[in-house]
Amino acid sequence: MTVRESVLDAIGYTPLVRLRRLGEGLRPTIYAKLEFQNIGGSVKDRAALSMIRAAEQEGLLSPGGTVVEGTSGNTGIGLALVAAHLGYRSVVFAPAATATEKIRLLRAYGAEVHLVGDYVPRSHPGHLANRAAAFAAGTPGAWLARQYDNPANPAAHEASTGPEIWRDTAGGITHFVASVGTGGTISGTAKFLKKASSGAVQVVAADPDHSVYGGGDGGAKYVEGAGHALHPESLEDVWPEAFDTVLVDRYIRITDRDSILTARRAAREEGLLIGGTSGTALAAALRLAEELDESHTVVVIIPDSGRNYLSTYFDDEWLTSAGFSDPAEPALSVGSLLPGPAAGVPILPAGLTVGEAIQELVRRGADCSLPAFLALDRGTSFGAVHPREVSAAVTLRSLAAAVESNPRAAFSPAAQQGEPFASVGIGTAVADLAQHPGQLLAVLVDGRIAATARQPFAGPDRSQEPAASRGII
C-alpha cells in the first residue's frame, strides 16, 4: 500500500485506463488519464498546489494569508483544499451558472464563495476576474492566484502530467488530446511531450463549438471549464498567458450536445463518471481515432468527475429542459406543436430603439404576437442563441402599443418593453406548459433558441387542438 504524508502528496500520479468499449471498432489504442482521481477531484489540483507553492517561495503568500481567485469551480476547489491544509483563508469568485455541486464543495473546504453574474465584458468591473482582483487588492495579506496568466499553472503539468504520461506509455504516445480552459494543462503537458518525443507527439485541443480558441463565435456554452467565450462588447480579446498556442497542432470543435452525450456514454459504457469538459475531450479523441491506425496511441485528459454535474448533464429533466434530449412521447411534446424546423427566430441586437425594432420586425414579416429576442449582437440577424445572451423578449404588438400610447417611446430602448419569457426544451411535455400561462416561450434545441411560441392556456389539456389555434408556431 502506498503511504502519503499529507493530502498534498496525493496530488498527481493518476492512472491511465484503456477505453475498450468506447474504442471498439477504432484501430488505435486509446487511454484516458483519470485526473478526477486527484485528491480534490480534478486536474486543477496540480495547478493549485503549484501556484500556491510558487507564491510562498516568492514571498507573495505568508502564514495567515488569504488565497483569492475567480474560477468556474475546479481551480477554486483545488486552491481551497490546499489552502485548508496549509492554514490559509480562501475566497473564491465563481460564475452564478456554476454547477451547484461545485459551489457546495468549495464551501465544504471552507472557502468563502461569491457568486458573480459572469456574462459581461472582460473590462467590466463586475466581471469575476475583476471582482476577485479588487477583493485581493483591498485585503491585507491576500494573494490572487491569476490562474490564466500564472506560469506556475503550466509548469505543474510540465513537471508532472507530461512525465507521467510518457512513463506510463513507455514513450509510445503519438497523440495527446486535452480541452483548453486556462491552457495550463495542455501547454505544460504538451511542452514536456514535444521535448521528450523530439516533436513527434501530436497535440490536439478539444474545444467547445462556440469557443474562440478553435474559431467559434465566442457565444455562451453549456460545458463548464473549457473553451473561451467572448462577450461582443469586449474591448479586446485577451487570451491566457498560460496557453501556449504554438504547441497545439490541431483543434477539434465539439458541440455542447456531443460533449454531454459522450460524457453520459462514458458512464454507461465504460463505467467512467466524467464531467462535461471531459466529454468534450473524449469526443475529440474518438473523432481523432477514426483517422488513425494500430500504430498510434492516443492519450486523452479526463479533467474531472461527473459527480460535480449530477444536477445537470446526468439529470434527465435538466437535459430535456435544455433541449438536449429527444422526447419520450414525441406526439405530446413541444416539438409536436411546431409546424416544422424554424426558418429563423427573430434575433435583434439588444441596443435597438423601439422604433428601430418595429421597422426591422415589419421588414421581416414577423408575427405580431410572437416574440423576437433582443440578444448580444454577434453580427447575425437570425440564428440560434443561448438564452443567457438574451436581454429581453419583445413582440411587434407590444412595441407598437407602446408607441401608440406615447410617440416618444419610439426613441427609447426596445428592451424596456420586454416581457417575461420562459425557456423550454423541444422535448418538454405539452402538459408541463400549463405552468407558463400566457407567457412567451423560447423553445430550445441543443440548448439554443430555435423557435418561439406563446402559451395561452392553462388547466384543461388542449394538446389535440390545431397548433394555429393555440398561437404556437
- If you average pLDDT over residues 201-208, what whole number do you get? 98
- If you average pLDDT over residues 222-247, what whole number do you get? 91
- Pairing label, strands 16-18, 390-394: unpaired
**7-39+158-316, which class in CATH?**
alpha beta
pLDDT bucket at 466, cuts 50 / 70 / 90 = very low
Report yes or no: 231 and 218 within 8 Å, Cβ to Cβ.
Answer: yes
- Which residue numbers are catalytic? 44
CB environment 189-224: b (16+ within 10 A), e (fewer) = bbbbbbebbeeebbbbbbbbbbbbbbebebbbbbbb
Domain 44-144 and domain 324-470 have a common topology = no
The verdict on pTM exceeding 0.95 is no
Q: Kindly compute the dihedral angle of the four CA atoms of residues 164, 251, 313, 122, in this order, to the nearest 10 degrees.
A: 100
Report yes or no: 461 and 352 within 8 Å, Cβ to Cβ.
Answer: no
Averaged pLDDT of the chain: 89
pLDDT bucket at 435, cuts 50 / 70 / 90 = confident
pLDDT beyond 90 at 241? yes
pLDDT beyond 90 at 81? yes
Q: What percent of the chain has pLDDT over 90?
A: 68
Grid look-up 483543434 returns 251
CATH of 44-144, one of 3.40.50.1100, 3.40.50.1110, 3.40.50.1980, 3.40.50.620: 3.40.50.1100
* Domain assignments of the chain as residue spans, ordered by start: 7-39+158-316, 44-144, 324-470
* CATH tag, 324-470: 3.10.580.10
Phi and psi at 230, nearest 5°, equal -135, 115
- If you average pLDDT over residues 431-443, what whole number do you get? 80
pLDDT tens for 6-49 read: 999 999 999 999 999 999 999 999 999 999 999 999 999 999 99
